[in-house]
Amino acid sequence: MTKRIVVLPGDGIGTEVTTEARQLLVEIAALLGVQWELDEGLIGGGAYDQTGSPLPEETVAKCLEADAVLLGAVGGPQWDNLPGDVRPEAGLLGIRKRLNVFANLRPIRTWPGLMLASPLKPELLEGVDMIIVRELTGGLYFGQPKARVEGGRAVVDTLYYTRGEIERVVRRAFTLAQARRKKLTSVDKANVLESSRMWREVVNELSVEYPDVVVDHVLVDNAAMQLVTRPNSFDVIVTENMFGDILSDEAAILTGSIGMLPSASIGGDGPGLYEPVHGSAPDIAGQGVANPLATFLSVAMMLRHSLGYPEAADAIEASVLAVIEQGVRTRDLAGSGQAWVGTKEMSQLVRADVQRRLA
Ligand SMILES: NC(=O)C1=CN([C@@H]2O[C@H](COP(=O)(O)OP(=O)(O)OC[C@H]3O[C@@H](n4cnc5c(N)ncnc54)[C@H](O)[C@@H]3O)[C@@H](O)[C@H]2O)C=CC1
Ligand SMILES: CC(C)CC(=O)C(=O)O
Ligand SMILES: [Mg+2]
């Protein structure tokens, strides 16, 4: 059956990296001899400018009918003074909620050719291979009220979780750990937050059902330190929305650049949502220097989790590795004085390698 893929380019470098990823998808379909229907939708600041909403209903409807959604990134300084409910980021939170993709998988690995791109010592980075499972549709980013109160003299954000919301993402993390090295680190702030105390309770209760998985609990401040002092001690990390957001950007330095971090958001009855971990990078938007590999690796996750083509996913990952090992770098990955290529050239080199593998 024809697969339907909706691409949501968004703003800034989101449009640049998804243009390349779309080309990759077109070429892979031809190589596999399959027909995919590729459509696009508006989201973010551009959507707000055109329609008055950062998430038009037309976009939601397209996504709900798709097999998979690929998103670039949203946001930019020109929209920073908009009210919270129409900011570009509200569109992103909105599509995650409407697709009910509560489990955001963010794999973090080191790439042998890129160890020098990280400020950390290579011996520390040896064998880093972890996945952060971030709760994506609850917590502080969604809880109500979220408002200025007391005549503007005070402000409130709400960290709200139901037990069910915690259980479903923690179960995903346990299942994932079972399929990997059977180690689950739950990250919370149970020394001060009631929500974290419930989080910890749920993890402990569910651990009985997964006796082969070794569980430990780490407070988020300590976890932030351990991520860079002993990164290869982690297998699966499960944590709430905001902690996962922050820790995964921190983990980007293990891989060499945030331009190398893909993600898959799953769990709803509908399509999975695939996106690079990075944002719209207004500081480099329009210059043709964005690293497209996080988005290519997100396409690989899409092929594996939503489209059923694991061999094509393997090919993309192998091609990224091969091109890096040949010494090709985008600017974010290049050391000082090292030559680098732009978005399009990196894209072409990886796509050509994928062609060779799938031909
Ligand atoms: N998923 C999304 O749509 C996200 C959107 N944002 C939004 O993006 C805007 C910018 O946020 P920032 O905090 O600057 O985070 P950012 O991730 O956009 O950029 C942080 C730094 O990393 C660099 N960078 C990011 N992606 C890169 C890539 N593919 N290749 C090379 N360098 C890359 C940028 O140039 C910048 O120096 C804000 O409006 C923010 O709300 C931020 C994070 C995620
Ligand atoms: C709007 C933000 C929650 C986006 C972000 O930083 C992320 O999902 O990583
Ligand atoms: Mg983030």
Clarify whether residues 206 and 267 are in a common domain: no
Condensed to tens digits (0 to 9), the pLDDT of residues 124-183 reads 899 999 999 999 999 999 999 999 999 999 999 999 999 999 999 999 999 999 999 999
State how far the Cα of 168 lies from the Cα of 273, in Å rounded to an integer. 17
State how far the Cα of 206 lies from the Cα of 335, in Å rounded to an integer. 45
Q: How many CB atoms lie within 10 A of CB 351?
A: 21
C-beta 43 within 6 A of ligand 1? no
Ligand 2 atom nearest to CA at 89: 1
- Whether residue 101 lies inside any domain: the answer is yes
Clarify whether residues 128 and 231 are in a common domain: yes
Clarify whether residues 225 and 322 are in a common domain: no
Ligand 2 atom nearest to CA at 249: 9
**DSSP labels, 169-203:** HHHHHHHHHHTTTSEEEEEE-TTT-HHHHHHHHHH
Range of the domain at 179: 119-255
C-beta 220 within 6 A of ligand 1? no
C-beta 275 within 6 A of ligand 1? yes
- Whether residue 114 lies inside any domain: the answer is no
Q: Look at the chain and report how many structural domains it folds into.
A: 2
Specify burial of residue 154 (Cβ count, 10 A radius: 0-12, 13-18, 19+): exposed
What is the reported pTM? 0.97
Specify burial of residue 224 (Cβ count, 10 A radius: 0-12, 13-18, 19+): middle
pLDDT of residue 1: 76
State how far the Cα of 71 lies from the Cα of 17, in Å rounded to an integer. 10
pLDDT of residue 45: 98
Residues lining ligand 2, Cβ inside 6 A: 89, 92, 141, 245, 277
Q: Give residue 195's pLDDT band: very low, low, confident or very high (50, 70, 90).
A: very high
The SS3 of residue 264 is strand
Clarify whether residues 150 and 190 are in a common domain: yes
The residue that leads in pLDDT, 335 or 17, is 17
